[in-house]
Amino acid sequence: MIKNLESSSLENYLMKEKNLRKSDGIEDSVRKIIREVKDNGDESLLSCINKYEEKELTSIKEVLFDQNFLEDKFNSLNVSNRDTLVYMAERIEKFHNKDIQLFDEFEDDSVEKYGYFMRPIEKVGLYAPGGKAQYPSSVLMTGVLAKLARVEDITVMFPGKINDLNLMFAASHLVGAKRVINAGGAHTLAAVAYGTQSIKSVDKIFGPGNSYVSEAKRQLYGEVGIDSLNGPSEVAIIVDENSSVEYAVKDFLAQAEHGEDSRCFLIHLPGFDLNLFNESLKRNLSKSKRTKIINSALKNCCTIDASSLKDAISISNCIIPEHLEILIDNINLNQLPEIRAGAVFIGTESSAVMGDYCAGPSHVIPTGGQGRFSSQVSLNDFYVKTSFMVASKNSYKKNGYKALLDNSINIAENEGLLEHANALKERNN
């Protein structure tokens, strides 16, 4: 059902995949969309929504919803759904609440003090995918952090039909969003990056989306900040002879149902019954209500032999997956620093699906190997960090103040920046 890949050919396989994604014409299409929305504002945005989201709007106001609307949607939920959203929000807040120190200062022997302070970003745009399903979890995964950071102005964006999105609207209320734009895609990101007649611009954009959304974030970086380039969802699952075949199958299918371009890798140690896995995969898939999406995704999925756990981790480190599951008990946690992945789930009862919802860590995680330089979204991402130092007449009493001046003057003169040196010489009396 799914291809078996030799570990020796994995790098070539990943490179081929990467090149295919680059040559699909998305870059030029997104560039054109962004330019049109930047130049024409609401008019082009309206046209794009009708074209790409198959709507028949006559005004942008039809997809803009204020805080009163969001509150009504939250209050209209049944108690069970409302409590679930609150529980998830509390779990996310609990994990991130001690994630950051907003101010710190240090004594110094050259100046009086130095340190840093953090201020929240003023305006953020939070993107959540939609269309095939509704994802209130994605709203909460970024929105709870924005609220916790005390971001003043939160705009939430997601596509889909209004009547199917009650949980999305309710989650937006829970995180304190000032407005929701019921639209998605590159056109919506361009609108919040540049602003239109009806939509305020933001300072930074967060959240996962499809390849068009990811490409739009890449092209808009610099005009706005972005969290990371979140592409198609992916998982690597490491199993051995004691791992549950059914757990591995269910987690494999859970990841595949994200979308047709999802990627799943099963890395199996000696003793794991691969035939039993494939049989169970077929059996479970035949009962699934999302067979069409999963079947398309399985074309991007593969199994890989590993000789040992160390070998399996090496294979996973070549992929640098968004999610890594190690469905094996008694793992030595001292091995964790060796692992290269966005988020790791360890133990036979663990699952990446827990991370999608109520475990606590953000599920907005870099994909496509970008975990080699990027991290999952954290509270830090909603702040700007600024350094400071204090130097006054009292600094002359410090043993190192003159050394700081002399060395800085020397470097400035060697760089040929003589006015830099003169600025410090004036103080070096």
Question: Pseudo-torsion of CA 174, 177, 182, 184, nearest 10°?
Answer: -100
Instruction: Please say whether the beta carbons of 361 and 355 come within 8 A.
Output: yes
Active site residue 363: no
Active site residue 323: yes
Residue 67 CA to residue 177 CA, distance in Å, equals: 7
Strands 3-5 and 123-127: unpaired
Q: Which of 390, 375, 383 is nearest to 102 (CA)?
A: 383
Residue 390 CA to residue 101 CA, distance in Å, equals: 20
Residue 17 CA to residue 197 CA, distance in Å, equals: 40
- Determine which helix (DSSP H) or strand (DSSP E) holds 319, and give its type and residue range: helix 309-319
Residue with tokens 């994605």: 138
User: Three-class SS string for 371-395?
Assistant: HHCCCCCCHHHHEEEEEEEECCHHH
Instruction: Identify the active-site residue in 173, 268, 323, 363.
Output: 323
Q: What letter does residue 428 receive in the DSSP assignment?
A: -
Residue 171 CA to residue 142 CA, distance in Å, equals: 11
The token pair that represents 67 in the structure block: 């805080």
Residue with tokens 């361009």: 190
Q: What letter does residue 399 receive in the DSSP assignment?
A: T
3-state helix, strand, coil in the chain (%, to 5): 50, 15, 35
User: Three-class SS string for 284-310?
Assistant: HHHCCCCHHHHHHHHCCCEEEECCCHH
The token pair that represents 236 in the structure block: 């690597």
Terminal alpha carbon distance of the chain = 79
Instruction: Identify the active-site residue in 268, 322, 325, 363.
Output: 322
Which residues are marked as active site?
322-323
